């Protein structure tokens, strides 16, 4: 490899790491906002709002880190993510958004967090030497983990398990598979990760707008 190629490769790796860190911060703030907005809808106090914001933002990443043996999890060693999630919860508490702004913004922030964390999770799995299949599963778990924790803590059936919920798990899993496949073949670049995240976000929001849902057993539809 020539000097120029080595420099280019180093620049690409640096760009990818920057994109990963920025993507994780964006996902953290977005998921924190979704948790805080849901807490407002549930009429929780300041403790409930901040706790749900932090749990939603960091939950998926904590699960991922435990699965790969990265202990203590990054959420407890790099406190900027915890601070960002808590600050987001506090902003929403003091802002006190009207009821109409706790509905569609909740869907948008949840979709952004889902898309970003799917790619970040797959990237972390690949960096830890996981196979493409395991990296994809880690990306999927990171993406949906925070939403599951948020819904359970707020007394809702998680969106990933509801038959009346528009597509959630399918876009997340597809995005994780694409990202991990690109990494496995050394095709992955930072901008590709952003595109993967964007596709997951668009698919989730489109399914909400048009009511796309996953397939159910044929006999369920027939009985209804």
Residues 6+ apart with CB under 8 A from 103: 41
pLDDT at 222 over 70: no
What pLDDT, on the 0 to 100 scale, is given for residue 7?
Answer: 38
What pLDDT, on the 0 to 100 scale, is given for residue 12?
Answer: 46
Whose tokens are 């703030």? That residue is 29
pLDDT tens for 158-196 read 888 887 788 999 999 999 999 999 998 888 877 788 889
Whose tokens are 């790969």? That residue is 68
Contact (Cβ atoms closer than 8 angstroms) between residue 17 and residue 123: no
Contact (Cβ atoms closer than 8 angstroms) between residue 116 and residue 35: no
The DSSP code sequence of 183-199 is: HHTT---HHHHHHHHHH
Q: The pTM is what?
A: 0.82
pLDDT tier, 144 (very low <50, low <70, confident <90, very high otherwise): very high
What pLDDT, on the 0 to 100 scale, is given for residue 53?
Answer: 95
Task: Taking residues 126-145, report their average pLDDT.
Answer: 91
Name the DSSP letter for residue 166.
P
pLDDT tens for 78-122 read 889 999 999 999 999 998 777 666 677 778 888 988 998 999 899
Higher pLDDT, 143 or 191: 143
Nearest one of 62, 42, 36, 53 to 117, comparing CA atoms = 62
Contact (Cβ atoms closer than 8 angstroms) between residue 186 and residue 141: no
Task: Taking residues 198-215, report their average pLDDT.
Answer: 90
What pLDDT, on the 0 to 100 scale, is given for residue 220?
Answer: 63
Contact (Cβ atoms closer than 8 angstroms) between residue 178 and residue 196: yes
The DSSP code sequence of the chain is: --HHHHHHHHHHHHHHHHHHHHHHHHHHHHHHHHHHHHHHHTT--HHHHHHHHHHHHHHHHHHHHHHHT-SS-HHHH-HHHHHHHHHHHHHHHHH---GGGGTHHHHHHHHHHHHHHHHHHHHHHHHTT--HHHHHHHHHHHHHHHHHHHHHHTT---GGG-TTSPS-HHHHHHHHHHHHHHHHTT---HHHHHHHHHHHHHHHHHHHHHT------HHHHHH-
């Amino acid at each position: 490899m020539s000097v120029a190629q080595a420099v280019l490769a180093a620049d690409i790796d640096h760009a990818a790491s920057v994109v990963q860190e920025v993507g994780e911060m964006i996902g953290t703030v977005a998921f924190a906002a979704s948790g805080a907005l849901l807490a407002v809808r549930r009429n929780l106090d300041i403790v409930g709002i901040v706790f749900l914001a932090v749990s939603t933002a960091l939950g998926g990443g904590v699960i991922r880190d435990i699965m790969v043996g990265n202990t203590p999890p990054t959420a407890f060693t790099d406190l900027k993510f915890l601070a960002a999630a808590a600050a987001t919860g506090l902003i929403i508490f003091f802002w006190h958004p009207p009821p109409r702004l706790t509905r569609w913004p909740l869907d948008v922030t949840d979709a952004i967090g889902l898309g970003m964390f799917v790619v970040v999770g797959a990237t972390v799995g690949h960096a830890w030497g996981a196979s493409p299949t395991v990296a994809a599963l880690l990306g999927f778990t990171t993406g949906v983990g925070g939403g599951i924790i948020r819904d359970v803590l707020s007394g809702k059936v998680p969106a990933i398990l509801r038959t009346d919920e528009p597509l959630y798990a399918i876009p997340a899993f597809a995005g994780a598979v694409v990202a991990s496949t690109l990494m496995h073949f050394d095709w992955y670049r930072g901008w590709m990760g952003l595109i993967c995240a964007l596709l997951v976000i668009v698919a989730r929001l489109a399914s909400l707008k048009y009511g796309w849902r996953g397939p159910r057993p044929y006999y369920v539809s027939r009985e209804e």
